[in-house]
Amino acid sequence: MAVKGDKQSIRERVWALLERRRAGRFPFPLAGRIPNFRGAEAAAARVATLPEWKAAKRLKCNPDAPQRALRLRALREGKIVFMAVPRLRRVKCFLRLDPARLGTRLAEAATIAGASKLGEPVTPAALGHIDLIVAGSVAVTSGGARLGKGGGYSDLEFGLARAVGSVDETTPVLTTVHELQVLKERIPMTSHDVPLDLIITPRRVIRTRRRRPKPAGIVWLELSDEQRREIPALRALRSG
């Protein structure tokens, strides 16, 4: 049976591989974060050709460096983008970026610092319908398994959005990665892990044909005491 250590060992091998093959790029070190990679802009351009992207008017995107080009493209195309507050530390734990209100500051808003300054903080209940989710990844498989950097916040964000009805089983979840991050080995998944529908690299699009369902909401039994204590939106959801 897979254990938590298996996930971390996979992460460490992928981070090291990207550095060894010089496929990663600033910020360094790659370890401990969603790694930025050479070709991230090409992957973003490939995403923009997909019907799921063209149909999406509102999307939730991770705040990491490799997806910055995708966030900027979304804003330039008039899409509303939601980004999570780091570690979900506030009751209003999402930042709403509306290009109609940002004017000429779209490039700034696509950065982590810019989103924090220019985004409108909202609660999960104020998300409204989300058409597409973009997730950052350390490692993925063609079957839709995904590893983040290990904090579990991306899965919690999905759980919160699912709990308030903003997303459901049919909401597409995609990631952009380097080819070296697409693994042939098994990545262990748990009931709170969100599987991928689409994996986009600079060279190709992978439609995963996943079999694992997406979490139906927050998996309370798998939360740590720290998460229950430190994330206000979880406390609000539980008390509500």
pLDDT in tens, 77-115: 999 999 999 889 999 999 999 999 999 999 999 999 999
The pLDDT tens digits of the residues spanning 194-228 come to 999 999 999 999 999 898 999 998 988 888 888 88
pLDDT score recorded for residue 221: 83
As a whole number, mean pLDDT of residues 173-180 equals 98
Coil, strand or helix at 206: strand
Close Cβ partners of 180 (under 8 Å, ≥ 6 residues apart): 14, 17, 18, 21, 23
- Provide the domain limits for residue 99: 4-239
Asked whether the predicted pLDDT for residue 169 surpasses 90, the reply is yes
Percent of the chain with pLDDT over 70: 98
User: How far is Cα 2 from Cα 125, in angstroms, rounded to an integer?
Assistant: 35
Closest CA to 19 of 39, 38, 43: 38
Percent of the chain with pLDDT over 90: 84
The pLDDT tens digits of the residues spanning 1-50 come to 343 459 999 999 999 999 999 999 999 999 999 999 999 999 999 999 99
DSSP secondary structure of 56-71: -SEEEE--SGGGHHHH
Closest CA to 42 of 201, 180, 174: 201
Number of domains forming the structure of the chain? 1
pLDDT band, very low/low/confident/very high, at 229 (cuts 50, 70, 90): confident
The pLDDT tens digits of the residues spanning 116-143 come to 999 999 999 999 999 999 999 999 999 9
Beta bridge partners of 175: 135, 199
**Cα end-to-end span (Å), the chain:** 36
pLDDT score recorded for residue 222: 83
pLDDT score recorded for residue 188: 92
E-assigned strands of the chain?
58-61, 80-84, 94-97, 120-122, 132-135, 139-141, 146-147, 173-176, 182-183, 198-200, 205-207
Q: Taking the CA of residue 140 as centre, how many other CA atoms within 13 Å lie in the half-sphere pointing to its CB? A: 31
pLDDT score recorded for residue 77: 98
For residue 74, the domain's CATH number is: 3.40.50.10420
User: How far is Cα 62 from Cα 34, in angstroms, rounded to an integer?
Assistant: 10
